[in-house]
Structure 1
């Protein structure tokens, strides 16, 4: 496959369930592989997207019986632009506050169970923006790609 034929866009819509997120991530990984990304870049993208999509299922749709998620990815030479749309509950403002690393100097049973997901997203992604338009959540982010010299 020449550089001119590499795919640059992916758009998928799926149910807001854990299994559908798993299937969507498999589609994203196939797209990234076909778009020429190496395992370091595709792994970073997988972490960010898994955290964001699982948060939507777990929190935005927690009391809603049925829901959909739309994921759009655009591959550029040095970045992956991502837009995620859903019609679940609005994201509380405090979620986007910059976070520090949780205290890990505790015994294993005393470590916090959650709180690492948004920290991973904030660490691995850039240009993180969220807005609520009508009844739709719109999360946009950029994942910088390591470009081989």
Structure 2
């Protein structure tokens, strides 16, 4: 049976707290001998998700709360991010596609690239809303302990 280690943190939704949470997550992963490349990928994906919660879901809430969990299994990092913010637009995860970029540099869209990146780097991404909470779950695959250090 594979061993697992779990990281769990609950914090107030703010940009500064997201930075602290990401730092704590990276320290946890490094302490569990996750390779530098996998730590970097986890930081990118978790950062995108957590920043979206702050910028969109809890934007107008003084009591915005985020909970992030990361479970290390032999095969993967399994993340769950829950918050008490507003539901995802249209009740689901934004699509995988990139925004249109067939324009001039000055007219490139400001956003829309983050979800494409999340879809690209993760697998098994799911979203549900239950009891006024958003919960997003995703996996960063193929990090078995035998190949953790590069």
What TM-score, normalized by structure 2, do the two folds share?
Answer: 0.87
Question: Contact 1:73–1:83 at 8 Å: present in 2 too?
Answer: yes
Report how many aligned residue pairs link the two structures: 145
Please, which of 99, 104, 112 is the counterpart of residue 102 of structure 1? 99
What TM-score, normalized by structure 1, do the two folds share?
Answer: 0.88
Is 2:108 aligned against 1:111? yes
RMSD: 2.1
Q: Write the mapping of 1:1-149 to structure 2, written as runs, cut at 5 A.
A: 8-93=5-90, 96-146=93-143, 148=147
1-structure distance, mates of 2:18, 2:124:
23
Unaligned runs of 5+ in 1: none
Worse-matched range after superposition: 47-56 or 139-148: 139-148
Unaligned runs of 5+ in 2: none
How far 1:97 sits from its partner (Å)?
A: 4.4
1-structure distance, mates of 2:4, 2:31:
7
2-structure distance, mates of 1:103, 1:94:
23
How far 1:44 sits from its partner (Å)?
A: 0.7
Question: Contact 1:125–1:144 at 8 Å: present in 2 too?
Answer: yes
1-structure distance, mates of 2:47, 2:134:
17
